[in-house]
Amino acid sequence: MEPLRIALCDDEQAMRELLEKYIGEWAVLRNHPAAVSSFCSGGELLRALDGKPFDLVVLDIQMQEPDGMHVARTIRETDCQTGILFVTGYEDYLAEGYEVEAFRYLLKPLKKEKLQEALDSFLVRRRKQPRFWTLKTPYGQKRVSLSEILYVESFGHTCRLYTLEESFPVKAGITEMEQQMQALGLAMFRTHRSYLVNLAQVTAVGREQVSLCGEVNAPVSRTRYQALNQAFIRYFRRDAQI
């Protein structure tokens, strides 16, 4: 099961520890893994967001600059998918919370039951919504549906991402792309030093090429055929058991 990737941002260490504790208890109770990263300032979180995707950001509002509302607005400039949950001691920011599409606003002192209810609600909403990934291209930011990604082709320090509908260049190397896509929960496999395929889109595995949805093929190096075939079988065996 794909873990829920959660970023916590609060300038009080005790609050960060309490949030981690409550989220950990929720993960055990719901039998749903959660990968939690903690940040003590808005600036630290924003730097991490540049290369690490999160499903949910839990933010205090009243922090030293940049405060939580500034962080939320910065996130929304390029990302409309990441959930934003405010945990704060002030009610004055409710209207601004709607502006950045925060899905929940919890007041301190934090009640465990309220946080767990919010996490339940977020998980239900996330399962119902299509998921997207925002990437940097030479032409600006580009949003792509995760369910449509086919494969990635490498050209040195840049790549080209192929989807069911289109392809476009991305300002990242293939190793960086692989790490980010795996962090997003995609089952990616390096079939060749220059090709990275999405196993969810594979329809057939051959010794020299792999077939993907949309009648698309990608090369398979001789040394990676066996591992690819095993990964393909494991992936669809696991999928059939869900």
Closest CA to 129 of 141, 143, 145: 145
CA pair distance 122, 124, nearest whole angstrom: 5
Report pLDDT digits (tens) over 132-173. 888 889 888 898 988 899 999 999 889 999 999 999 999 999
Check whether 54 has a pLDDT greater than 60.
yes
Check whether 126 has a pLDDT greater than 50.
yes
Closest CA to 158 of 185, 143, 132, 176: 176
132-241 classified as CATH 2.40.50.1020: yes
Separate counts of helices (H) and strands (E) for the chain = 7, 15
pLDDT at 79: 78
Per-domain residue ranges of the chain: 4-128, 132-241
4-128 classified as CATH 3.40.50.2300: yes
Strands, sheet with 209-212, edge to edge from the N-terminal-most edge strand: 202-205, 209-212, 216-219
Check whether 14 has a pLDDT greater than 90.
yes
Report pLDDT digits (tens) over 71-119. 999 988 877 778 999 998 877 766 677 678 888 889 899 999 999 999 9
* Phi, psi dihedrals of residue 135, rounded to the nearest 5°: -120, 160
* Strand, coil or helix: 210: strand
Is residue 129 very low, low, confident or very high in pLDDT (cuts 50, 70, 90)? Answer: low
pLDDT at 51: 62
Residue with tokens 């239900």: 124
